[in-house]
Amino acid sequence: MTTNKKEYIRKGKCIWCLKSKPEVGFYTKPHTIPKKLNSHNIGFDICDSCNNFFGSDNKLDKVTYSVDKVLKEFFNVHKFLLTNKKDSNSWKKFKSQFFNYYHTSKTLKLNIDYRRNATYANQLTRKFKRGIYNIFLQEYHRNTENGLDNKFDRIREFVRHDSGELPLYYLKSSDGVRITEDLELSHELPFNDYGLEILDKYGFYHLSMTGLNFYVEATAKAKLNFDYLIKDSKYQIGTGFVFRELIELKKLNEIDFTLRNWN
Ligand SMILES: [Zn+2]
């Protein structure tokens, strides 16, 4: 390896496998959120082999698509739905590995039979969850440089080693999907003082991207603070205009992929 090649490194240890140089290298540009989601944030302390792991398909898995690809696919089809105008013909070119699009109802439906392909559906859901936790820790570390803290070992186990289980909570929309963000802007996760204080105190992080709203169990503290989650989600739901209810995501088709009463 050449010595003048740029390294993406700050703490000197990979936040996923906890290995350092020279055992691993840090030469691959680590996008904290997949580039195809219109994100340009470059992280650090993500080694070449972990970076490659998240971006590579695995023929041995039942769901062969990589963690990155599953996440990309879901957020991109969601974005398609939000930006596709009724009078445009762009939907005719729509292609997806997981979705069928119904133009008259402006609905995306997962093309997986959940009863007949239960194992596949469960694994796809698990990969999506790992993808969400993946961008959480990468963006958290990019913002705070504290991603190596051992309170995130559970996330490392789940995301990098596909072991254990972490819940993902989802705020269901009342009336199809609404969007409050500018979709053309680069995506990033905010870690302001308030969000960090909540994370520290209660263990939860509210993750919102392209109008989809999740809560991740950032640390084990969250287990003791379920009442915080209930309270905060009730506050978000308010009168029920935007959100209807909080659920723990068990199947990907519980995410709203329909646009209704929306101009
Ligand atoms: Zn690594």
- The predicted pLDDT at position 100 comes to 83
SS3 4: coil
**Calpha distance 69→67 (Å, rounded):** 6
d(CA 44, ligand 1 centre) in Å: 11
20 C-alpha to center of ligand 1: Å? 8
The helix-helix angle for 118-144 and 67-83 (nearest 10°) equals 90
User: Counting every residue, how long is the chain?
Assistant: 263
* Euclidean distance between CA atoms 42 and 219, whole angstroms: 24
Enclosing domain of residue 225: 62-254
Distance of CA 50 from the midpoint of ligand 1 (Å): 4
Tens of pLDDT along 43-100? 999 999 999 999 999 999 889 999 999 998 888 887 777 776 656 677 777 778 788 8
Ligand 1 midpoint to CA 172 (Å):
34
DSSP 145: S
For residues 92 and 258, the model is more confident at 92
Kindly state the tokens that stand for 200.
Answer: 């520290």
CA of 13 to the centre of ligand 1 (A): 8
Question: Residue 129 has what pLDDT?
Answer: 98
Q: Could you tell me the distance, in angstroms and rounded to a whole number, from the CA of residue 226 to the centre of ligand 1?
A: 32
Question: Given the structure tokens 């997949």, which residue do they identify?
Answer: 34
CA dist., res. 262 & res. 191, Å (int)? 30
Expressed in angstroms and rounded, the spacing between residue 100 Cα and the centre of ligand 1 is: 36
pLDDT value for 263: 39
pLDDT digits (tens, 9 = 90+) for 32-43: 998 877 788 999
Region 191-199 average pLDDT = 96
The pLDDT of residue 178 is above 80: no
Six-digit token string for 94: 């729509």
The alpha carbon of 6 and the centre of ligand 1 are apart by a number of angstroms equal to 17
Nearest to 50 by CA among 67, 73, 70, 71: 67
Residue 160 resides in a domain: yes
Ligand 1 centre to CA of 140 (Å) is 16
In percent, how much of the chain has pLDDT > 90?
Answer: 58
Instruction: Let me know if residue 187 belongs to a domain.
Output: yes
- At 205-234, the pLDDT tens digits run 999 887 789 999 999 999 999 999 999 999
Give how far Cα 252 sits from Cα of 15, 109, 121, 197, 256, Å.
27, 10, 8, 30, 9
Say if CB 243 and CB 237 are below 8 A apart: yes
Reading the block at residue 112, the tokens are 């997986």
Residue 191 CA to ligand 1 center (angstroms) comes to: 23
Write down the pLDDT at residue 187. Answer: 75
Q: How much distance in Å is there from the Cα of 1 to the middle of ligand 1?
A: 18
Distance 27 CA to ligand 1 centre (A): 12
Query: Are the C-beta atoms of residues 120 and 57 closer than 8 Å to each other?
Result: no
Number of domain units in the chain:
1
Segments in 115-252 forming alpha helices (H):
118-144, 153-160, 193-202, 226-237
Copy the structure tokens of residue 63.
Answer: 């769901």
SS3 146: coil
Q: What does DSSP assign to residue 100?
A: E
Instruction: Confirm whether 172 is domain-assigned.
Output: yes
Q: State the distance from the centre of ligand 1 to the C-alpha of 182, rounded, in angstroms.
A: 33
| Cα 121 to ligand 1 centroid, rounded to whole Å | 28
User: Is the residue at 250 inside a domain?
Assistant: yes
- What is the whole-number distance in angstroms between the Cα of residue 82 and the centre of ligand 1? 35
Separation of CA 156 and ligand 1 centre (Å):
10
Between CA 224 and CA 221 the distance in angstroms is: 6
Tokens of residue 216, six digits: 């991740």
Residue 40, in any domain of the structure:
no
What are the φ and ψ backbone dihedral angles of 217, each rounded to 5 degrees? -85, 90
Confidence of residue 261 (pLDDT cuts 50, 70, 90): very low
8 Å CB contact between 213 and 80? no
CA dist., res. 108 & res. 91, Å (int) = 11
pLDDT in tens, 103-162: 777 777 887 777 778 899 899 999 999 999 999 999 999 999 999 999 999 999 999 999
Instruction: Find the 16 Cα to ligand 1 centroid distance in Å.
Output: 5
Rg for the chain, CA atoms, rounded: 19
Whether 2 is covered by a domain: the verdict is no
CA of 212 from ligand 1 middle (Å) equals 29
